[in-house]
Structure 1
Amino acid sequence: MTIGIWVLGDRLSQQQTALKKYEGKKQEVAVILIESSNYARQRLYHRQKLVLVWSAMRHFAEELKQDGWQVTYAIAVDFITPLQEWIKAKKISELSLTEPSDRSFTEFVKSLELNCQLKLLPDNHFLWTKAEFQAWADQGKRLLMEDFYREGRKRFKILMAGKKPVGGKWNFDKQNRQPPKQSLTTPDPITFKPDTITHEVIDWVNAKEFSNYGEIEPFNWGVTRQQALQVLEHFITKCLTNFGAYQDAMITGERTMWHSLISPYLNLGLLEPAEVISAVEAAYYRQELPLNSVEGFIRQVLGWREYMNGIYHYMDANYGDRNWFEHHHSLPDFFWDANATNMNCLHQTLTQIEETGYAHHIQRLMVLSNFALIAGISPQEIENWFHSAFIDGYDWVMQTNVIGMGQFADGGVLASKPYAASANYINKMSDYCSDCSYNRSDRTGEKACPFNFFYWDFLSRHRDRLSSLGRMNLVLSHLKRMSSEELAQIQTQAETWWQQQK
């Protein structure tokens, strides 16, 4: 029997199950990595996303070769052709691979007609297995992330003092919502100059015209595990102290603030969640870092990341098709061209994404997703855009984050209320409104901020449905006090805005 291992582009770790199982038989096992042009053209991917994935794959292939593995690297139109040729040439009798994170790709792999046995090995790039998450979800009355997070803290003994949380509280959210100050001095992010391999990938992406979305250079992302570890160390030593307090703040020109920038590396497999959490927790005890920062970050990895992956696999396959509010507007063109909008918060955020493929979680949730929600954009269209535009985007990431959390399209599986807000929130947590052509205070009129009239129009359109959510009653009470004349103006302005997009 000849064993073959297919290493996928988001499983670039020698700790992955398939490689780990056969690490003592490197000379007897064949390994393949495949770049598929057709797969890259399924979406209008950000060009830096394509460069990151393919450069990381090529670097990982070289790492495996240097470590004694027998590696084939294929660049092809599709996956099946080089896979079949390799299976025949190497006389593969059993093809092993670590189970893909995305449900659709798992089904694709299972559908392939291969002249050998296919063996999917358990995914070990999350702390919770699918079975463990399902057992947790089935035993509880609610699927709240906070409950799951606390269970994770106990299970893995993270920031625990016996049976109680360190500091006496499970989270420090109230300390982590500081608005930006004008005098903030933020650290520069760590960047990496493209090497020969990365330059070759940049040239390849340009030559083949896989996508015209996003700037391809300057490309500053790391593409190896060693570089990913440097990013983690930089975050811990330079950013973690102030990460907590200002993690929700947004400032013009400040693209990374104190954020970690490790999500692309976690999602590629270059970093493992357990090692990230351990490193941050160890730094807390060693350096006496602020607990609100340390806990706030660990909640993102141990809480949100694990929870989103768990929900993705726990829900039915049609979860991504949900549309609780029945929103059907098409995605405005300015999501693909930041210069096409005069809303400064959107312009700043979208410009940043075009140039880097990145925006932090509040820009994603309270600017981009918020606008899509209150304006009535199709959840599936905005989810597709998120998946395409972001450097860390994958199906398991974006379905739950966008369909569930950002758009409330699942009707409350993930959240107890929609994340909907007017310009008031954006003005509080950013400096965007101070340099905008719209007036952040106006709900109607020529200078009215679209976030304002869309917000109140959203509440009005869905007041019956929203009234079933207890946490929305206070907001809906404000709607009741609005005059019928002003509400009519708001509704007209919302309709007119959409007519102008056609």
Structure 2
Amino acid sequence: MAVGIWILGDQLNKNNSALLSRLQQKKDTYILFIESFNLGSLQTYHCQKLVLIWSAMRHFAQELKEDDWQVSYVINDNFQQSFINWIKNYQITELRLMSPSDDRTVLFNQINSSNNHDRSFFSFLKEIDINCHIKLFPNSNFLWQKEEFKQWAKKRKKLILEDFYRESRQRFNILLTEDNKPIGGKWNLDKENRQPPKKNLQTPVTLFFKPDKITLEVIEKVKKINDKTYGKIDNFQWAVKREEALKVLNQFVQYRLNFFGKYQDAMITEEKFMWHSLISPYLNIGLLQPLEVIKTVENAYYQGDYPLNSVEGFIRQILGWREYMYSLYHYVDDSYFSSNWFDHQNPIPDFFWDSNKTDMNCLHQVLKQTENTGYAHHIQRLMILSNYGLVAGISPQELKKWFHAVFIDAYDWVMQTNVLGMGQFADGGILASKPYASSANYINKMSDYCKGCCYNPKEKFTENACPFNYLYWNFLARHEEKLRTQGRMNLVLKHLEKMSEKDLETINFLAQKRINNDEH
């Protein structure tokens, strides 16, 4: 019997559970990597995302070879044939695989086209008469496994993120006193983490890396497929090895953690990274593991002078939000991914693909940053990009595809629930307690973008008004009946009631004009 292990591009860690299962039989275990654009589920990706994944795969394959594993690294866009050839060449009778993070993507549906109810990643093997036993192992990129979340969820009427986060804190004994209470007396310190930016903030230097020979070779490859890519490539500086990713984590703790909590929601022109950790790309491909990141930050709190609101706020993003997004993605039924509670159908505006095509400074700044780096922090994504999609009535499914394509840390497991549920309220409130819709007031408070814009954030009813203002009020007016079913919307709807018919007509006119211009 020959045993093989297929390592996917987001499973690049020696803690990979399938690898660990054969640690004592390295020389009798065959490892497969397939570098293929068609292993993805979309037609377009940010070029830096492709470079990150393929370069990290090549580096990890090289590490495993040096550790005496029997490694095959195949570069071929016909990934299915490459896989079949490897099975036959090495006469693999048992295939081991760490459970894929995204087992509900277009890729899986294509493979399983003969049986829509069978999500087995390898059902196509039956069609070509290969007798190969498939053995799946737990996904070590996450702390909660699918069945564990199901057991937690079935006891509850509502799946509330805060409840899940508290359960996770207790389960993994994070930031707790001896009597199992939260350190500092509160579970969640989010109210202390919403400071607007001050003038002349001195942000820390960001740790990046000069591309080595392997990465430069991948960059040249990606340049040749520019018809399938988005964004800039020549400034690629992301980590591609675990040792580099660990340096980024340590640099975050040393130089960024202190002010991370206080300014994590702030946005400043030309400040791409501020005090954010920049480790999500590495967590999501396995170069870093969630518990080691959480423990590193928790230990820093115990050993150093770090504010609790920064430490708790960061840990909540990983132990709470990240784990919840992944778990919910696997828990909901397939209808969730086509949900569209507001019935929004507008297409993605052209300027989402080209930042120079918008005259709104906030959108221009965030989109330009995304083009250049593949990165924008969570408030830029939620309150600028996703907010615009919501109030402009963009199709949530199309917006999800766009987010998935352009961000370096984006995968189906996080984009579905995050964009559809949190960003677009397409699920009608399963994930969020109210729509994350906002006028220009929030953006003006939390950023300096409005100062460099041709529109006025204080106006609502003129051509000079910030489009976020009239789009926001038009969104509320169009969906007033539905929004009244959401208790947290009653206060703002009272303001809507006070608007005159003339003002509402003006808002509708300006909103439709803006949306029509977006589509051309």
Task: Give the TM-score range, shorter chain.
Answer: over 0.9
Q: Distance in 2 between matches of 1:24 and 1:210?
A: 44
CA offsets, 1:400-426, max 9 Å, x none?
A: 110000000011011110000000000
Matched, 1:120 2:132: no
In structure 1, how many angstroms separate the alpha carbons of the residues matched to 2:41 and 2:224?
14
**Equivalence for 1:82:** 82
User: For 1:405-420, what aligned pairs fall within 5 Å after superposition?
Assistant: 405-420=422-437
Residue of structure 2 equivalent to 1:146: 162
**2:377 pairs with 350, 356, 360, which one?**
360
Partner of 1:281: 298
Q: 1:132 is matched with which residue? A: 148
1:190 corresponds to: 207
2:506 — aligned with what? 489
Given candidates 332, 349, 353, the residue that maps to 1:332 is 349
Tell me the equivalent position of 1:244.
261
After TM superposition, the runs of 4+ consecutive aligned structure 1 residues lying more than 4 A away are none
Shift of 1:122: 2.1
Counterpart of 1:369 in 2: which secondary structure?
helix
Matched, 1:382 2:394: no
Query: C-alpha deviations, 1:313-352, integer Å up to 9, x for none?
Result: 0001232111000000001000000000000000000000
1:459 deviates by 0.3
Is the CA contact 2:370–2:407 (under 8 Å) kept in the aligned structure 1? yes
1:453 to 441, 458, 470: 470
Residue 97 of structure 2 aligns to a residue whose secondary structure is strand
Quote the offset at 1:79 in angstroms: 1.4
Check if 1:254 corresponds to 2:266.
Answer: no
String of CA shifts for 1:464-496, please: whole Å, max 9, x gaps.
000000000000000001111101100011111
Matches within 5 A, 1:30-429: 30-40=30-40, 42-103=42-103, 104=105, 105=107, 108=111, 109-113=121-125, 115=130, 116-161=132-177, 162-209=179-226, 211-429=228-446
CA distance in 1 between counterparts of 2:245 and 2:444 reads: 34
Corresponding position of 2:117: none
> 2:291, 2:317 → 1: CA distance?
13
Counterpart CA distance in 2 for 1:210 and 1:349 is 23
Aligned counterparts of 1:59 and 1:110: Cα–Cα separation in 2: 26
Q: Quote how far apart the aligned CAs of 1:210 are.
A: 5.2
Distance 1:70 1:371 in 2: 49
Cα distance in 1 for residues equivalent to 2:397 and 2:326:
18
Once the two structures are superposed, the pairs formed by residues 18-29 of structure 1 within 5 Å of their partners are 18-29=18-29
Percent identity between the two aligned chains: 58
Matched AA of 2:174: I
Amino acid at match of 1:2: A
Q: Deviations over 1:58-80 (max 9, x none)?
A: 00000000111000000002211
Asked whether the 8 Å contact 1:99–1:106 carries over to 2, the reply is no
Which amino acid in structure 1 is aligned with residue 479 of structure 2?
Answer: H
CA deviations on 1:181-200 (whole Å, 9 max, x unpaired) are 01211001100000000000
TM-superposition CA deviations, 1:268-300 (whole Å, max 9, x none): 011000000000000000003100000000000
The answer as to whether partners of 2:42 and 2:401 remain within 8 angstroms in 1 is: no
Q: Is the 8 A contact 1:366 1:426 kept in 2?
A: yes
**Alignment partner, residue 480 of structure 2:** 463
Structure 1 residue 112 displacement after superposition: 2.4
Structure 1, residues 145-169: CA drift from partner, whole Å, max 9, x if none?
Answer: 0010011111111000022100000
User: Does the CA-based 8 Å contact 1:40-1:50 persist in structure 2?
Assistant: no
Contact 2:140 2:289 in 1 (8 A): no
2:238 aligned partner, one-letter code: W
1:66 maps to amino acid: E
User: Which 5+ residue runs of structure 2 have no aligned equivalent?
Assistant: 112-120
User: For each residue in 1:209-231, what CA deviation from the matched residue of structure 2 results, as whole angstroms up to 9, or x when unmatched?
Assistant: 35241001111100011011011
TM-score normalized by structure 1? 0.98
Conserved? CA contact 2:42–2:405, under 8 Å: no
Paired residue total: 502
The answer on whether the counterparts of 1:16 and 1:98 sit within 8 Å (CA) in structure 2 is yes
Contact kept, 8 Å, 2:443 with 2:449, in 1: the verdict is yes
C-alpha distance in 1 between matches for 2:213 and 2:48: 16
Amino acid at match of 1:142: K
Letter in 2 for 1:35: E
For residues 253 and 407 of structure 2, the distance between their equivalents in structure 1, rounded to whole angstroms, comes to 24
Deviations 1:38-84 (A, max 9, x none): 33583210000000000000000000001110000000022111111
Q: Distance in 1 between matches of 2:40 and 2:157?
A: 41
Shift of the 347–190 alpha-carbon distance from structure 1 to 2, 3 Å rule, reads same
**CA distance, structure 1, for counterparts of residue 257 and residue 138 of structure 2:** 33
**Secondary structure at the residue paired with 1:296?**
helix
SS of the residue aligned with 1:93?
strand
| More divergent stretch after superposition (300-309 vs 137-146) | 137-146
- Residue 154 of structure 1 aligns with an amino acid whose one-letter code is Q
Q: Which whole-Å CA distance do the structure 1 matches of 2:79 and 2:212 have between them?
A: 27
The CA deviation string for residues 358-413 of structure 1, in whole angstroms up to 9 with x for no partner, is 00000000000000001100001110000000000100010011000000001101
Letter of the 2:153 counterpart: A
SS, match of residue 478 in structure 1: helix
Supply the RMSD in Å over aligned alpha carbons.
1.1
Unaligned runs of 5+ in 1: none
